[in-house]
A and B are shown apart, each in its own frame.
Chain A
Amino acid sequence: DTAVSQTPKYLVTQMGNDKSIKCEQNLGHDTMYWYKQDSKKFLKIMFSYNNKELIINETVPNRFSPKSPDKAHLNLHINSLELGDSAVYFCASSRRLAHSTDTQYFGPGTRLTVL
């Protein structure tokens, strides 16, 4: 009965490959997010998304794209992987977008290693 789940937990791949990370939430939330935590443990938001609006952090390369088949899922696609993409990626969800009282619930993270 995990609230926010991610697969895979670990992902090791070569430079230049294209990969996806999946995220699912069973909380009935409308909004989902992707965060990147780099080797210095700094946690940065990449995207926030609901069925009406995608907000992109302007520092995110366009090789990264979120795709949402339905409200409960937000997958992260990464094209042409680079060494600097190595990090832990966290998915999160909250009830609504742009509402300051909503708590975000985080998944367990996906550790991506690009060789």
Chain B
Amino acid sequence: DAKTTQPPSMDCAEGRAANLPCNHSTISGNEYVYWYRQIHSQGPQYIIHGLKNNETNEMASLIITEDRKSSTLILPHATLRDTAVYYCIVGGNQFYFGTGTSLTVIP
């Protein structure tokens, strides 16, 4: 059901930028790209979403390629509290979560 592909795990040094890639080659024209994260044992938390243009908010930036077949979530200055599983989701009214990327921020 999931329409996205993400690397299973990544490490990032504290204070550095974390770049999390996602492939969504079958995305349709009206589907948005969403990013959520799940910190251990908590409910998923919304991070950012976008359609075509790059987006930035207080948590992260989202870079979407021109053909919309892939995107990258950027956490500009990763902290230890950013250690979590990050889910890239393509969808409309129903979300289909994939296996996500387990990001570990290393001191």
Same assembly: yes
Interface residues of A (CB under 8 A from B): 4, 35, 41-45, 48, 55, 57, 88, 90, 92, 97-101, 103-109
Contact (Cβ within 8 A) A90 B44:
yes
Contact (Cβ within 8 A) B43 A108:
yes
Contact (Cβ within 8 A) B95 A101:
no
Alpha-carbon distance A99/B34, docked complex (angstroms): 13
Asked if A98 meets B92 with Cβ closer than 8 Å, knowing A42-B97, A43-B87, A43-B97, the reply is yes
Chain B residues near A57: list those with CB within 8 A. Answer: 94
Q: Please pick, from A55, A101, A103, A109, the residue contacting B94 in the complex, using a CB distance under 8 A.
A: A55
Contact (Cβ within 8 A) A41 B45:
no
Contact (Cβ within 8 A) A45 B41:
no
Asked if A100 meets B31 with Cβ closer than 8 Å, knowing A41-B99, A42-B97, A48-B93, the reply is yes
By DSSP majority rule, is chain B's interface helix, strand, loop, or mixed?
Answer: loop
How many chain B residues touch A (CB < 8 A): the figure is 23
Q: A-B pairs with the 5 shortest C-beta distances?
A: A106-B43, A98-B93, A100-B92, A43-B97, A106-B44
Contact (Cβ within 8 A) B44 A43:
yes
Chain A residues near B85: list those with CB within 8 A. Answer: 41
Chain A residues near B87: list those with CB within 8 A. Answer: 43
Q: List 8 A-B contacts (CB under 8 A).
A: A43-B97, A44-B1, A44-B96, A45-B95, A99-B92, A104-B44, A106-B45, A108-B43
Q: Which single residue of chain B is at the shortest CB-CB distance from A97?
A: B93
Q: Please pick, from B34, B45, B97, the residue contacting A44 in the complex, using a CB distance under 8 A.
A: B97
**Docked complex: B14-41 residues within 8 A CB-CB of A:** 30-32, 34, 38, 41
